[in-house]
Structure 1
Amino acid sequence: MGERATFLREDTAATAPAAEPHLNGCPWHDVTEMLSSVGLRPTRQRMALGWLLFGKGDRHLTAEMLYEEASQAKVPVSLATVYNTLNQLTEVGLLRQVSVDGTKTYFDTNVSAHQHFYLENNHELIDIPDQHVALRQTPEVPEGYEIARVDVVVRIRKKA
């Protein structure tokens, strides 16, 4: 997996999609550079979704959440395109996919090695700082396989 450079600046390019102030993403040229660096063609839809995804720092989004943000920003994109784009960005290492219970998939803009808390009450995923989780030993893997990564999701909820 390639490393992803941080492309977060306050300025916005004039060609970025019209959006409400809280939806401002990273500059248009940074998204172009990010996509090109991993061999993805910077299509209009990838550009708009990348602009929304990476402009707010490290975050965890479902496809539905990104689709809603795109709709609010007046970005004409289908939910299927959002799914396809998120999967493409995951395949090239710009996003990390985190599954919760096999029923909900989040896409994490922080692709570094880290673990997560899942807040059951809000259906929210938040990062656990690396130093708080220690894995003493990994299991023996079948012949011909290797461990790609270990994901730990700690489910938490508010006390009753």
Structure 2
Amino acid sequence: MTRPDHTDITTLLREAGLRPTRQRQALASLLFTGEDHHVSAEELHERAVRAQVPVSLATVYNTLHQFTRAGLLREVAVDGTKSYFDTDTSDHHHFYVEDDNHLMDIEGGQISVSGVPDAPDGMEVTFVDVVVRLRRSKDVPGARAPEAGEDD
């Protein structure tokens, strides 16, 4: 997916119904410039600090959730305490490498989900998210997950 350059960040935010504050623009630049990728709030906060963006971790969390509600990101929960945010909002699933806390895309169409029960009265199924958890095989010495950016 082609991502906007810095001049398009303001337009991206406005079209998503978000006011383009300085902090949103700075975080959006870090997220949406370049290739699609997965990022945790802590990782984005570290990137912001390195880029000299004055932003708190709480603001990063709030902004990521605002971007998710606006449809700019997709949240991928890997357990009850850890979530990643995916800049690729297309229909696809994920591998999660437990040993490395690393998320990788599974291209759309490679997993078929059937037998989803009917939603309770007054509810509707909006999405089925599959996260396939991986662990290094004890039989394969030196097996490793791709480095960040190799297969995000």
TM beyond 0.5: yes
The aligned counterpart of 1:143 is: 121
For the residues of structure 2 that align with 1:129 and 1:6, how far apart are their CA atoms? 17
**Contact kept? 1:7, 1:30, Cα under 8 Å:** no
| Residues 111-158 of structure 1, C-alpha deviations (whole Å, 9 max, x = no match) | 111110001111011110112101123111111110010010000011
| Residues 97-119 of structure 1, C-alpha deviations (whole Å, 9 max, x = no match) | 11011110111101111110001
**Contact kept? 1:7, 1:31, Cα under 8 Å:** no
How many residues end up aligned between the 2 structures? 138
The aligned counterpart of 1:13 is: none
Please give the root-mean-square deviation of Cα atoms over the aligned residues, in Å: 1.2
- What does 1:92-131 align with in structure 2 at a 5 Å threshold? 92-131=70-109
- Asked whether 1:34 is paired with 2:19, we answer no
The aligned counterpart of 1:84 is: 62
For the residues of structure 2 that align with 1:100 and 1:158, how far apart are their CA atoms? 17
| Residues 64-94 of structure 1, C-alpha deviations (whole Å, 9 max, x = no match) | 0000000111111111110110010001100
Given residue 52 of structure 2, which amino acid in structure 1 is its aligned partner? K
For the residues of structure 1 that align with 2:59 and 2:120, how far apart are their CA atoms? 36
**Contact kept? 2:23, 2:55, Cα under 8 Å:** yes
The aligned counterpart of 1:7 is: 3
For the residues of structure 1 that align with 2:69 and 2:110, how far apart are their CA atoms? 28
State the TM-score, normalized to the length of structure 2.
Answer: 0.87
Secondary structure in 1 matching 2:128? coil
Match among 44, 47, 51 for residue 69 of structure 1 = 47
The aligned counterpart of 1:12 is: none
Given residue 111 of structure 1, which amino acid in structure 2 is its aligned partner? T
For the residues of structure 2 that align with 1:6 and 1:146, how far apart are their CA atoms? 32
Given residue 104 of structure 1, which amino acid in structure 2 is its aligned partner? K
For the residues of structure 1 that align with 2:33 and 2:7, how far apart are their CA atoms? 12
For the residues of structure 1 that align with 2:36 and 2:69, how far apart are their CA atoms? 18
For the residues of structure 1 that align with 2:113 and 2:14, how far apart are their CA atoms? 36
- Asked whether 1:57 is paired with 2:28, we answer no
